[in-house]
């Protein structure tokens, strides 16, 4: 989700202060926690709609054009295997990461560890209360990383909201040791310029480089001053994570990037970056720009092409490579994740995916636009819906991806023919309300080891697709998956 700009900032603390901040996270499995969720990170409040719009929603439900409130519908090839409702963490569910038999789910109030050894019966292993929107999450070995993009009183898990204008506020990257899944341990905190809205892991031999995406500087924010024209790179030694520190700030837009207009965001940083380490490439979705980067030197990412779409893209949000690295799917988060943009009025080319081909070689590689893809099922004016987080399904010889669309549900779609993408499966819940635009739905939907996992605001959903077009993915197994660190499937 696109964060509220006035709540972004970052503060640099001395190394000694960071060391002092190393502490145990507040763990709980059902009892009372020492810290409390941050009311400043609550979901968006419902927004009233007109009587005409309300009547249209009720008429569409009555006519079976859309499902009823909370009614589940899905294509014949999709099966809903399980749902684990929210438990102690009541904030907004965000991103997902995977390792072995475990799924790790971000939440604005912290994160949840699930045992998914039996996908039909996922179990909560532990929950960590550590507020800090949006807690974008990833894992590597024994380490777990969280992004904090809301100003905090300090870097501890018991911190509270604090204005971005105050110099001693904190935002950045938190690092946990997850060698004991029942008892994750907070081991490091790194403050980064303008906080960390999302982050991307780029593993090296001894270190992990973390590309920190953040944006929207403000002259009133002491440690988030304009121009904010790049990304922070954090170096984390695998065997000494407490020594994690910012290694550089890489300027990606020396010309300032897209200046913004009445419909599109100006580029003041990046929203999300997807790395493909095996190909030494990364694709950045950076507000007003899409970029292709050479990451052959992980500590020094280098832009080799830059594209804009002022006519149709409002906010470049995320990116996914095709398996062979010849294509990139960029998403446009029109409305910031809180808008109803999957209706007939908005149309099929706004709040959609843009499919690009990568042409040329070396530094002459270019991103060339092919087409747009948006779910073909209209949603109610009370449903927030827009292209959001997804991943490849590792199908032999085809380009197929699963993707979240908030209250538009989970879509499985094919872009093998880049000019004619099409949906081949879906899972959708009806609107939360017929009376107000209400935030909800699935934030992230990823394929992992034979199943689809969706972090919905109603909890963790597990889905299965049975389709000849995706059958070849069934036997593919990964030890670990962070969707923003794209693996080479074998």
Residue pLDDT, tens place only, 5-64:
322 233 222 232 333 333 333 344 332 233 445 544 556 789 999 999 999 999 999 999
Q: Write out pLDDT tens, residues 258-300.
A: 999 999 999 999 999 999 999 999 999 999 999 999 999 999 9
Across the beta sheet with 400-404, the strand order is: 72-74, 422-429, 410-414, 400-404, 390-393
Q: Write out pLDDT tens, residues 416-474.
A: 999 999 999 999 999 999 999 999 999 999 999 999 999 999 999 999 999 999 999 99
For residue 299, give both structure tokens: 């500590």
225 within a domain of the structure (yes/no) = yes
Q: What is the pLDDT of residue 41?
A: 54
- For the chain, what is the mean pLDDT? 92
Of 73, 117, 201, the C-alpha closest to 451 is 117
- What residues are paired with 212 via a beta bridge? 199, 232
44 within a domain of the structure (yes/no) = no
320 within a domain of the structure (yes/no) = no
Q: Would you place residue 73 in the very low, low, confident or very high pLDDT band (cuts 50, 70, 90)?
A: very high
How confident is the model over 478-489, as a mean pLDDT? 96
Identify whether the C-beta of residue 121 lies closer than 8 Å to the C-beta of residue 82.
yes
Across the beta sheet with 170-177, the strand order is: 134-140, 143-152, 170-177, 185-191
62 in helix, strand or coil? helix
Q: How far apart are CA 438 and CA 184, in angstroms?
A: 33
Four-CA torsion 196, 332, 441, 88, nearest 10 degrees: 0
Percent of the chain whose predicted confidence (pLDDT) is above 70? 91
Other C-beta atoms closer than 10 Å to the C-beta of 187 total 20
Q: How far apart are CA 247 and CA 168, in angstroms?
A: 21
Cα 29 to chain centroid, rounded: 25
284 within a domain of the structure (yes/no) = no
- What residues are paired with 366 via a beta bridge? 359
Q: Write out pLDDT tens, residues 184-232.
A: 999 999 999 999 999 999 999 899 999 999 999 999 999 999 999 999 9
450 within a domain of the structure (yes/no) = no
Write the DSSP symbol of residue 334. G
How confident is the model over 137-141, as a mean pLDDT? 98
C-alpha distances in Å from residue 471, one per residue of 329, 394, 397, 448, 465: 22, 10, 12, 14, 9
8 within a domain of the structure (yes/no) = yes
Q: What is the pLDDT of residue 7?
A: 27
Helices and strands (H and E) in the chain: how many: 2, 33
How confident is the model over 317-336, as a mean pLDDT? 97
Q: Which residues contact 297 (CB under 8 A, 6 or more apart)?
A: none
Identify whether the C-beta of residue 189 lies closer than 8 Å to the C-beta of residue 22.
yes
Q: How far apart are CA 99 and CA 43, in angstroms?
A: 28
pLDDT of 178 over the 90 cut: yes
Identify whether the C-beta of residue 461 lies closer than 8 Å to the C-beta of residue 425.
no
369 within a domain of the structure (yes/no) = no
Instruction: Assign residue 375 a region (left: φ > 0; alpha: ψ between -120 and 50; beta: otherwise).
Output: beta
Task: Tell the burial category of 64 from Cβ atoms under 10 Å away from its Cβ (0-12, 13-18, 19+).
Answer: exposed
Q: What is the pLDDT of residue 1?
A: 77
Instruction: Provide the number of structural domains found in the chain.
Output: 1
Q: What is the pLDDT of residue 43?
A: 65
Cα 474 to chain centroid, rounded: 25
Residues belonging to the chain = 490
Domain range for 246: 1-28+92-251
Of 342, 437, 440, 344, the C-alpha closest to 382 is 437
103 within a domain of the structure (yes/no) = yes
């Amino acid at each position: 989700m696109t964060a509220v700009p006035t709540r972004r900032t970052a503060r640099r603390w001395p190394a000694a202060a960071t060391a002092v901040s190393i502490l145990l996270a507040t763990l709980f499995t059902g009892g009372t926690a020492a810290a409390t969720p941050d009311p400043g990170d609550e979901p968006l409040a419902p927004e009233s709609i007109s009587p005409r719009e309300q009547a249209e929603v009720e008429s569409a439900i009555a006519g079976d054009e859309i499902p009823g409130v909370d009614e589940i519908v899905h294509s014949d090839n999709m099966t809903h295997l399980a749902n684990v409702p929210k438990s102690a963490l009541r904030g907004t569910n965000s991103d997902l990461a995977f390792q072995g038999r475990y799924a790790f789910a971000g939440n604005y109030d912290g994160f949840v560890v699930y045992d998914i050894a039996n996908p039909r019966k996922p179990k909560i292993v532990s929950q960590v209360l550590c507020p800090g929107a949006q807690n974008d999450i990833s894992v590597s070995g024994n380490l777990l990383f969280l992004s904090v993009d809301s100003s905090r009183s300090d870097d501890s898990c018991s911190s509270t909201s604090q204005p971005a204008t105050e110099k001693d506020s904190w935002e950045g990257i938190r690092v946990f040791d997850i060698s004991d899944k029942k008892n994750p341990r907070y081991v490091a905190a790194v403050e980064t310029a303008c906080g960390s809205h999302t982050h991307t892991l780029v593993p090296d031999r001894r270190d992990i480089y973390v590309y920190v995406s953040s944006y929207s500087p403000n002259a009133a924010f002491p440690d988030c001053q304009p121009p904010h024209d790049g990304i922070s790179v954090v170096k984390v030694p695998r065997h000494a994570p407490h020594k994690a520190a910012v290694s550089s700030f890489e300027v990606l837009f020396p010309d300032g990037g897209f200046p913004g207009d009445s419909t599109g965001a100006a580029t003041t940083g990046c929203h999300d970056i997807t790395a493909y380490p095996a190909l030494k490439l990364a694709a950045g979705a950076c507000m007003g720009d899409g970029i292709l980067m050479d990451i052959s030197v992980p500590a020094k990412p280098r832009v080799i092409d830059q594209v804009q779409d002022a006519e149709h893209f409002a906010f470049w949000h995320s990116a996914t490579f095709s398996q062979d690295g010849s294509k990139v799917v960029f998403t446009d988060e029109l409305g910031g994740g809180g808008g109803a943009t999957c209706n007939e009025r908005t149309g099929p080319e706004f709040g959609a995916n843009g499919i690009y081909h990568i042409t040329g070689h070396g530094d002459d590689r270019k991103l060339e636009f092919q087409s747009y893809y948006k779910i073909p099922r209209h949603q109610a004016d009370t449903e927030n819906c827009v292209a959001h987080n997804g991943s490849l399904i590792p199908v032999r010889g085809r380009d197929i991806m699963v993707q979240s669309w908030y209250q538009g549900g989970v879509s499985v779609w094919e872009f093998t023919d880049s000019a004619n993408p099409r949906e081949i499966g879906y899972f959708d819940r009806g609107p939360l309300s017929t009376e107000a635009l209400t935030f909800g739905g699935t934030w992230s939907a990823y394929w992992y080891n034979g199943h689809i996992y969706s972090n919905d605001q109603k909890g963790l959903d597990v889905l299965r697709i049975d389709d000849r077009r995706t059958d070849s993915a069934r036997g593919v197994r990964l030890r670990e998956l962070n969707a923003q660190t794209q693996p080479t499937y074998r």
